Homo-oligomer: A and B are copies of this chain.
């Protein structure tokens, strides 16, 4: 096929240095390069939208984790949705919409031998919109689904608490737990987010950890009071996205045989000091409770089942999906990422790259 893309320029955001604390503009390098012709078996994908996730902060650090760190000088890793604009691979046609891990760039060129490990898959926009495919039907949705169902194992009638309740994972977890017949209490920062998860998503209650605490009361004591009020009989399942003081507050209210799903610790990711561990962890002993980590990639062979189930809930209105879509293309990536850690995003944070 003709190389109609030969005149296209690809703008990229690369990791220039490893941040200490919150990332700054100095940690990024902006590059551009012309797109060369495709080889046999290759695909060229125009990136439509990128997923911005708390986990990205971890990928920027040196050291062993569940996934290798992004190397200095490499295009920053990011999940996203794109459209095939050129194909020398018979399995993909121009116009196909795909999800995968394009990284923070405008165009993603995928070699034949990369196709498998890139996790690239065609998606159907009749099932969900581009942004829904990055939210409830994407990685955050899969994380929430398998973390809740496989690790949390909620039973109808149990009390489920989720932090980061208005975030991408949190909204999936809370709504899914409601579908499964649980009482659901969210924890989120700000009255608007709390009101939204209760009124729009149907959570039973939401504790605003940023709310002004009554005079003489510490903020975390106020969170503890909120838990006491809304989870009078204790917490059966806690889905933790934040760590820190909120994890400790929930630990202090566990029920017998409770399950804590460790999905993230956003309160700690930009710490420059030592990580703070849950000082109430002995509540696990007192309550014969369990704390367990989840990494979504382990469930890749069952994504299609979770997608089918939750697409049904989106269709019949039992689940909703909210995305915070930021315009501005890849150049806006550094500033947009930091919204996550300032608690500024409201819903799944998505960076729009092209129409």
Q: From residue A224, how far is it (CB to closest CB) to chain B in Å?
A: 14
A291: Cβ under 8 A from any B Cβ: yes
Report how far A66 CA is from B294 CA in the complex, Å: 28
Report how far A249 CA is from B262 CA in the complex, Å: 19
Cβ contacts under 8 Å, A65 to chain B: 286
B290 with A290: CB separation less than 8 A:
yes
B285 with A293: CB separation less than 8 A:
yes
A289 with B286: CB separation less than 8 A:
no
A284: Cβ under 8 A from any B Cβ: yes
A192: Cβ under 8 A from any B Cβ: no
B288 with A265: CB separation less than 8 A:
no
Report how far A274 CA is from B281 CA in the complex, Å: 12
Protomer copies: 2
Q: From residue A304, how far is it (CB to closest CB) to chain B in Å?
A: 21
Report how far A293 CA is from B256 CA in the complex, Å: 10
A280 with B281: CB separation less than 8 A:
no
B281 with A262: CB separation less than 8 A:
yes
Give the contact-size bracket for chain A: 20 to 34
Q: Which of A270-288 contact B (CB under 8 A)?
A: 274-288
A295: Cβ under 8 A from any B Cβ: yes
Report how far A343 CA is from B163 CA in the complex, Å: 40
Whether A281 touches B284, Cβ cut-off 8 Å, given contacts A289-B293, A290-B291, A291-B292, is no
Contact of A265 among B275, B276, B282, B292 (CB under 8 A): B282
Chain B, residue nearest A287 (CB): B293
A298: Cβ under 8 A from any B Cβ: yes
Q: From residue A230, how far is it (CB to closest CB) to chain B in Å?
A: 19
Q: Which of A236-266 contact B (CB under 8 A)?
A: 243, 248, 262-265
A275 with B280: CB separation less than 8 A:
yes
Cβ contacts under 8 Å, A274 to chain B: 279
